Amino acid sequence: MEDNEIKQDFEVISSNRGGDKIVLNGYVYTKQKKVAKGLRWVCIRRDGCRGAAVTTELYKNAEETISHNHPPNPMDAEKSRRKSMMRNKASSKELYLNRKRMKVNSRIRGKRDWPPADNDQPFREISDTIHGFIPLYYPLNLIVDTPEFQRLRNIKQVAFTSYVFPNADHSRFVHCLGFVALIAHNELLLKS
């Protein structure tokens, strides 16, 4: 490596609105416009920083053209990376390919303090992607196995819930289990 070559830290990440941002030597830039050399990028800081960079249209040969009035903040770059990673993960199709969202655990796990001592029936837990583990006590643990309840797995109930829980199955089965979890939670709150 020659003395005049500087090792650059360069990365392309997605922005909040689906566009692109670049991270260059610890500074985060957003795309501003096309220029003769390719694309012009400006610093994301809005406090008077005029820092700018230029890349080719294929995001190669990044170089800083106007220096910044602040030191690089690694937290800005890390925050942008994490948000981009979460957005990519949430929009990936692999979340929707797994149709087996609910897993009924038929093994009796034991007794707990909830529900109150007057209902000392054994329970089983159902794993749900939204509510975690939902304990089902008698008679609910028997109702879940009936054909009438199991047919709810195939009936979709989407509406606006797909925006709230994008990785959920959105079947009536999941909705009913969520309702059971909500009732159990409210019962605990009322008893305490």
Indicate the number of domains in the chain.
2
Q: Is the dihedral of CA 120, 109, 126, 165 positive or negative?
A: positive
In a domain, 165, yes or no: yes
pLDDT of residue 122: 58
What type of residue sits at position 21?
Answer: K
pLDDT at res. 142: 74
Of 71, 91, 111, the last residue of a domain is 91
- pLDDT per position in the chain (192 positions), as tens? 444 444 467 778 777 777 788 888 888 888 888 888 888 888 888 778 888 888 887 877 888 888 888 888 878 878 888 888 877 776 665 554 444 444 444 444 444 444 444 455 556 777 776 667 777 766 677 777 778 777 777 777 666 655 655 566 667 777 777 777 777 777 777 877
pLDDT at 2: 43
Q: Which of 66, 34, 69, 29 is nearest to 49 (CA)?
A: 69
Q: 68 and 85 share a domain?
A: yes
CA 4 to chain centre: 42
* 110 and 53 fall within a common domain: no
111 CB-near residues (< 8 Å, 6+ apart) = 120, 122, 123
What's residue 161's pLDDT? 57
- Residue 14 located in a structural domain: yes
Query: Which domain range does residue 53 map to?
Result: 10-91
Last residue of a domain, one of 37, 61, 91: 91
Integer angstrom CA distances of residue 186 from 38, 115, 180, 181, 183: 59, 12, 10, 9, 5
Q: Is residue 124 part of a domain?
A: yes
pLDDT of the residue at 13? 79
- What pLDDT, on a 0 to 100 scale, did the predictor assign at position 162? 58
Q: Which two tokens stand for residue 99?
A: 């149709």
- Co-location of 49 and 109 in the same domain: no
Give a yes or no: residue 52 inside a domain. Answer: yes
Question: Looking at 61, 91, 121, which one is the last position of a domain?
Answer: 91
